[in-house]
């Protein structure tokens, strides 16, 4: 059990380091609306707007850090959503299902590529 605690602490620390790198893209316009041609991206956008947008407006910095300029791999995004970090709450599988979380990751990747 101790081993897992150390590993989780290391992962959480690396997430915090990644979150602090780079500057948030504030007031920089996107290149028009995100074209949604993939159903997973569309579903992810809906979940993001409902659960995440209040702290990360359109992926930019708000109460939480910007996400558009953080090239975190999908598994780290999922870990942070499930475990929380700093002021970010954790979201259980009942709040955001595994499929919904996968869709949110697809949406964030599309948003990064678009901006």
Q: Is residue 27 part of a domain?
A: no
**pLDDT given for residue 50 in this prediction:** 96
CATH number assigned to the domain comprising residue 82: 1.10.760.10
Q: Is residue 63 part of a domain?
A: yes
Instruction: State how far the Cα of 57 lies from the Cα of 22, in Å rounded to an integer.
Output: 17
Q: Is residue 85 part of a domain?
A: yes
For residues 8 and 90, is the Cβ–Cβ distance under 8 A? Answer: no
Q: Is residue 64 part of a domain?
A: yes
Instruction: Find the domain containing 94 and state its range.
Output: 2-22+38-114
**pLDDT given for residue 18 in this prediction:** 54
Regarding pTM above 0.95, the answer is no
Structural domains in the chain (count): 1
Which residues fall within 8 angstroms of residue 100, CB to CB, at 6 or more apart?
43, 44, 47
**pLDDT given for residue 22 in this prediction:** 46
Residue 13: CA count within 13 A, CB half-sphere: 6
How many other C-beta atoms can be found within 10 angstroms of the C-beta atom of residue 109? 18
Note down pLDDT in tens along the chain; length 115 residues.
556 666 666 666 565 545 544 444 444 445 677 888 899 999 999 999 999 999 999 888 888 888 888 788 999 999 999 999 888 999 999 999 999 999 999 999 998 887 6
**pLDDT given for residue 21 in this prediction:** 47
Q: Is residue 33 part of a domain?
A: no
Q: Is residue 29 part of a domain?
A: no
């Amino acid at each position: 059990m101790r081993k897992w605690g150390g590993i989780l602490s290391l992962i959480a620390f690396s997430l915090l380091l990644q979150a602090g790198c780079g500057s948030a893209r504030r007031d920089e316009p996107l290149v028009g609306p995100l074209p949604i041609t993939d159903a997973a991206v569309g579903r992810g956008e809906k979940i993001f707007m409902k659960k995440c947008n209040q702290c990360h407006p359109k992926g930019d910095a708000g109460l939480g850090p910007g996400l558009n300029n953080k090239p975190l791999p999908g598994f780290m995004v999922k870990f942070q959503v499930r475990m929380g970090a700093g002021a970010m709450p954790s979201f259980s599988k009942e709040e955001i299902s595994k499929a919904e979380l996968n869709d949110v990751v697809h949406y964030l990747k599309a948003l990064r590529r678009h901006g």
